[in-house]
Structure 1
């Protein structure tokens, strides 16, 4: 699959951290769904590299300070900027391809490691894999 480069706007997300990666991803989404309605919300998965390994956060774009206070969930802000993107149709049936597609984008572009890799859920049929890059062109 070919990646394209898009300009991501800054994000402010209410989040739930997965207990483990990748096994805890489903549990993080279940926890956030138990606190907030998902219908009509922009949902992102954040994949962060740390010294201890990879961390995953399920996140919803915040509706504002009131929602943040009511839920008590941690807020993560992600800086905007260029991102390589691959659209994955019927992603539920292609979970085993996600890691390889992120690796492909990392080969094609200079990665901006100051921002997390992201999954943008466009519903149950379409997932956008987003990898922050340093500039709009390839390597």
Structure 2
């Protein structure tokens, strides 16, 4: 007897469902995205620390910080996000929980970063929302790598 992808095995109780392939694949993709976004955030931080004239804010903004402060924020957040992304890829439960928290923090910080890089900030916000969705919908605890 054959089964279709996403359907429970023949020995499973009636009404049981296997984890969604979208959610499981999305979690792996979320781990990769977090690691890559962390590296990009590290680069953003280094650039903001090295040269203050690279990022020029567009207009006046309520949540204006010094670029050196933004550089440290991006650098530290990037290092932590890379570590959590690796934890997610290894299937650690702490990685999933920390990933949700850090993705939410990243969305908030990229909203505040909008005047410096509007397009990249919007892309980072969208990626953060996807990461939160993927990590909240997958209940599988098996290692990804």
Q: Please classify the TM superposition score into its range, dividing by the shorter chain length.
A: under 0.3
- Please give the TM-score of this superposition, normalised by the length of structure 2: 0.26
Structure with bigger gyration radius:
2
- Please give the TM-score of this superposition, normalised by the length of structure 1: 0.27
